[in-house]
Amino acid sequence: MGTDTRISQHVASGKGRLRHVFVRDLEIIALLGVHEHEKRKAQRIIVNIDLAVREDLANLADDIKNVVSYETVVKHVEAIVAQGHIHLVETLAERIAEACLADERVSAARVRVEKPDIIPNARSVGVEIERIR
């Protein structure tokens, strides 16, 4: 029976040898949405990412190339958004999860994409997905 790598509320696990790498409330301006005004005018989005990363303590060596860097994760998100208009928040979330899982050390990715300025009487709306290797 394999180890369950789903992301729990507290994703770091000594028993599972998992490290929690995360990005909280990343604000980006993006062309995102199905409505004509969303295709013409960029809007603010908020991205949250939680990654379950398999630890390799033997090779840590206090060197950033030996870990999954949150800076690299942010650059992936920025690059995806910079590619241009995306219709669905679901599509953006899937692309972000796919980019995170491209690193073999990432066993699971939870991605939340929010549009905080779309529904006037809601703090935000959006989508959260979880993808497991």
- Residue tagged 């729990």 (tokens): 8
Spatial distance between the Cα atoms of 101 and 111, rounded to a whole number of angstroms: 11
CA distances from 11 to 3, 6, 63, 133 (A): 13, 8, 23, 15
The one-letter code for the residue type at 24 is R
Which among 87, 77, 84, 114 has a CA at the least distance from the CA of 32? 87
Catalytic positions, written as ranges? 115
Angle at 67 (CA atoms; ends 49, 97), nearest 5 degrees: 30
